[in-house]
Amino acid sequence: MELFSEKGYHGTNTKEIAASAGVSTGSFYSYYKDKRAVFLDSLIIYNNTLVERIDTYLDGVDFQSMDKIDFIREVIDSLIFSHKVFTEFHKELAVMYNSDPEVQALMDTQFDFGRRKTLDYLLKNSQGLKVDNIEAASVIVFETLNRVVDIIVFSPQTSDVEQLKTELAKMLVTYLYK
Domain that holds residue 122: 41-176
Instruction: Give a yes or no: residue 131 inside a domain.
Output: yes
pTM, two decimals, is 0.81
pLDDT of residue 85: 67
Structural domains counted in the chain: 1
Using CA atoms of 38, 106, 46, 121 in order, give the dihedral in degrees to the nearest 10.
-170
| Angle between helical axes of 161-176 and 134-154 (0-180°, round to 10) | 180
Domain contains 130: yes
CA distance 30 to 107: 26
Count, residues in the chain: 178
| 92 Cβ contact partners less than 8 Å away, ≥ 6 residues apart | 4, 5, 8, 9
From 101, 68, 33, select the one nearest 168 (Cα to Cα).
68
- Average pLDDT per run of 10 along the chain, which is 178 residues long? 86 94 93 93 86 78 80 88 75 86 93 91 86 96 94 80 94 95
Closest CA to 40 of 23, 16, 17: 17
Rg (CA), the chain: 19
Q: How far apart are CA 6 and CA 1, in angstroms?
A: 8
Residue 30 inside a domain? The answer is: no
Residue 102 lies in a domain: yes
The DSSP annotation for 109-149 comes to: HHHHHHHHHHHHHHHHT-TTB--S-HHHHHHHHHHHHHHHH
Does residue 97 lie within any of the structural domains? yes
Residue 23 lies in a domain: no
Calculate the dihedral angle through the C-alpha atoms of 160, 166, 172, 175, rounding to the nearest 10 degrees.
-110
Indicate whether 136 belongs to any domain: yes
Q: pLDDT value at position 88?
A: 77
Instruction: Find the CATH number of the domain harbouring 160.
Output: 1.10.357.10
| Segment (H or E) for 98 | none
